[in-house]
Structure 1
Amino acid sequence: MSILEDTGMLACKPSAVPMAADLKLNAESGSQLPDLEAYRRLIGKLLYLTISRLDICYTVHKLSQFVSDPRSGHMNAANILLRYLKHTTGQGVLFKTKSDTSLHAYVDADWGSCFDRGKSTTGYCIFFGNSLISWKAKKQKTVSKSSAEAEYRALSFVSSELTWL
């Protein structure tokens, strides 16, 4: 059974984006959900799906922060993500057989994006030739005083990952 069938979103209208760019989720986004377990099951399935769908990692990362106390705003954002999945069925990670053997890394930080705690978010992706081999979106452990400090922490994080690879 697919995620769309399980959630009753099989006949939904497709969405071109996984999450609105100006959407600011916090701990009090809307009213309490009547069925907390449905949200938690959905996020668990979406976390598993991020193994092969890099395009939803950031959105799932944001939604997974609210599994302890999900609200209607969080569920609405999750429904938009489900509509995006309907729009992009068949997408996934592609590994090409003929590619160069150099590592390329792209990294960014979103300074102070967590409104509840003021922490920044680091996101990166690493390519081996044309093939994506590593990616992550993660909240930074400490609060940065500036966007430059948040970017520096992000670069440090991806440098450690490159050293490991």
Structure 2
Amino acid sequence: MKRAKRAGLISEQSIKEALTEAKGDIFLASTTLDCTARELDGYVRASAELQQFAAAIEKVKIDPAYSRMSVEQFENRLADLSLAYKVVGIEELHDLATMDHGDSAAMAKVKLQAAIALRGGHLQVAGDREIEHALSELNQLYHQNAPRIKEIRQTTIKLEDGREATERVIELRPDQQ
């Protein structure tokens, strides 16, 4: 400790800061100050101001008012974070509700649910079944009218070094090309 003290690295202020950060734990504070716990204890014992500071930390740690204050601070922080995450959630719902879903029925359903959630409503069980039925009908119509695969041809090419290369060709029905 004398080495660090001489180098100006340990002062009463740095000890107070280390003890505050370590919540009064002398072992954690000593690692912050890069000295042994025994050296730090000796320095605290030699200073009446540091003894009072360490005693105040211990008193605060067992004070019920401090515990209540800590709980209130925690609840306030939790409420602040909840509000912030709700804003982020609404922004994400907006992105989902306004995105292009292409030909995907599943993505259309996600888009619809996001729009409903953004509006503030909830899907009812019966409403959800109606939507499922409508999406199922749309999917069925798509499959009835979509181009059909007529034939898949596969060509295998044998290379001189013994490897094989396979090429697949999909032909559509002539009436739907």
Short-chain TM bin = under 0.3
Which structure has more RCO (C-alpha within 8 Å, separation ≥ 6)?
A: 1
Q: Structure 2 length as normaliser, TM-score?
A: 0.23
More helix by share: 2
Q: Structure 1 length as normaliser, TM-score?
A: 0.25
More strand by share: 1
